Amino acid sequence: MKINNELCNKCGRCVMECCHLAIIPDDNGGFFIDQQLCNNCEDLFDIECIRVCKKYAIIDNEGKVPEIDRTLRLRSEHLPWLIAVMGSRDNGDFPLGLREWEPFRKIISDAYLNPEKKVRFTKCFDDNCIGCPAKVAPGHAAYLEKLDDLCFKQLGIEPGTVMGIWDAIRLGAKKFPRSFFKEIDIIKESIVNDFFRCLPPDEYGSYDSDDKNNELLFGGLTACENVVPEEENMTIEINGCRVSVSANVDLELLARVCQALK
Ligand code: SF4
Ligand code: SF4
């Protein structure tokens, strides 16, 4: 891979993303890719630097931007965490403002406001991992890959599967029993309880936009303060919190969400 300096705006996202530390500052305030260190992400499920570059400035050796699926990515092992963040409400298990949990809140916010949003299941790494310092730790990718494999098996889907965010949440709710959490090193009881608290008591994770009292629809919004979803086309306020949403947001749904939170 190479950087096209005519398009690069020197944002540094790719530098944070490359777990092989192959993207290096040059003398002009920009970056270059060290060909000795870059292995084209052959050991990972996706090519990491390309998916985070919003300027399409990373090119292959033939000078082309490789075509990749840019659907929001979710590691299979991040699905139980996502559901647990939803269920935690504001109980402090996932403190607001921590880099680790804000990407999850971003997805949750998007899910409420854009119910048709899709996710693409991936192995390490995903869009929640952008900028995570743990990515470059030796052996970390291999450890996560094992967890992802366990979750893919449990979910009964293959890496690369694309589905609606609410279908993904419903699937996770059905397929992850309490006994499974130890296998993926989620051992804190309160986190496991957060996972199950997300779900309505009588059914697993149904999403019904016509049901004003739907626990799954409204409950987790308290976890979404100060969240900016992926597509930043307009800004609204929900319960005193500024939230950016895409222009194609379901305005009727949004109005009801705001009303429910008053
Ligand atoms: S992510 Fe793209 S625009 Fe940002 S520094 Fe890297 S190549 Fe440049
Ligand atoms: S292709 Fe992978 S290894 Fe190479 S620079 Fe990009 S993120 Fe780093």
Q: What is the pLDDT of residues 109-148, one digit of tens each?
A: 777 777 788 999 999 999 888 888 888 898 999 999 999 9
31 plus 84 within the same structural domain: no
155 plus 184 within the same structural domain: yes
Average pLDDT, the chain: 79
Q: Of 68, 97, 125, which marks where a domain is finished?
A: 68
184 plus 89 within the same structural domain: yes
41 neighbors 157 (Cβ within 8 angstroms):
no
38 plus 61 within the same structural domain: yes
Q: How many domains does the chain have?
A: 2
pLDDT in tens, 33-56: 999 999 999 999 999 999 889 999
Domain of 9, in residue numbers: 1-68
**pLDDT of 259 over the 60 cut:** no
84 plus 10 within the same structural domain: no
Q: Of 46, 68, 90, which marks where a domain is finished?
A: 68
The ligand whose atoms approach the alpha carbon of 61 most closely is 2
**pLDDT of 180 over the 90 cut:** yes
Give the pLDDT of residue 249: 53
Confidence of residue 225 (pLDDT cuts 50, 70, 90): very low
| Structure token digits, residue 175 | 């397929």
Ligand 2: distance of its center to the CA of 24 in Å?
11
Count CA atoms within 13 Å of residue 250 on its CB side: 15
Report the CATH number that the domain containing residue 22 is assigned in CATH.
Answer: 3.30.70.20
Ligand 1, residues 1, 11, 49, 50: which to mutate, most atoms within 8 A of Cβ?
Answer: 11
150 plus 209 within the same structural domain: yes
191 plus 216 within the same structural domain: yes
Give me the mean pLDDT over the 186-213 stretch.
64
**pLDDT of 229 over the 90 cut:** no
Give me the mean pLDDT over the 210-237 stretch.
44
Ligand 1: distance of its center to the CA of 232 in Å?
19
Q: Of 28, 51, 68, which marks where a domain is finished?
A: 68
Closest C-alpha to 22, from 44, 78, 230, 6: 44
200 neighbors 149 (Cβ within 8 angstroms):
no
CA distance 259 to 76: 33
**pLDDT of 230 over the 90 cut:** no
